[in-house]
Amino acid sequence: MLQNSNFVTTFVTSMSTIMNNRLKQFLAAENITQAQFADNINVVRASVSHVLSGRNNPSFDFIKAMMAQYPRLNMDWLIFGKGRMYKDSAPVPDEGQLFPIDIEIPARITETDHQDIIPEPEPSSNSLNTPDTTIQMSVTQRKVSKIIILYDDGTFQEM
């Protein structure tokens, strides 16, 4: 009986550690801190820290709050490691477009539209006669010193 108890304890601990790693991957994918995550799901910040450190397992309320705040998160992936991090039902943005553009562009801008947008400045009666001076700025050349590649499994590589 003692051997079975040790096996169950070891199994639950290892599954909890694996889930904690997936939760860390999710936070990295969402680009949020532990504190931001805790605030988003309305739990005490210490509870997120304890779950991520392995001190505590996430409670039912913790998981339920995650499901409510992050409906795209695949809970099968988080808990069991099955499937992808995000559910497939949500549309994924096109690779070539960082932000979706939903701006209406007028077909033609008329001269009257242009006058309303940029009024011409009125000449000043007491303008100063100052000589034109050219300001030259020194531009320093920058070189790449380090590149970090982040992978979707939470690992990275420095180049």
Please indicate whether residue 139 or residue 55 has the higher confidence score (pLDDT): 55
- Determine the average pLDDT of the residues in 31-51: 92
Task: Please tell me the pTM assigned to this model.
Answer: 0.48
Q: Tell me how far apart the terminal alpha carbons of the chain are, to the nearest angstrom.
A: 51
Nearest to 67 by CA among 50, 51, 87: 87
DSSP state of 90: S
Mean pLDDT across the chain? 75
- Residue 86: strand, helix, or coil: strand
- Residue 157: strand, helix, or coil: strand
Domains defined along the chain, listed by start: 1-83 (1.10.260.40)
Residue with tokens 């320093």: 140
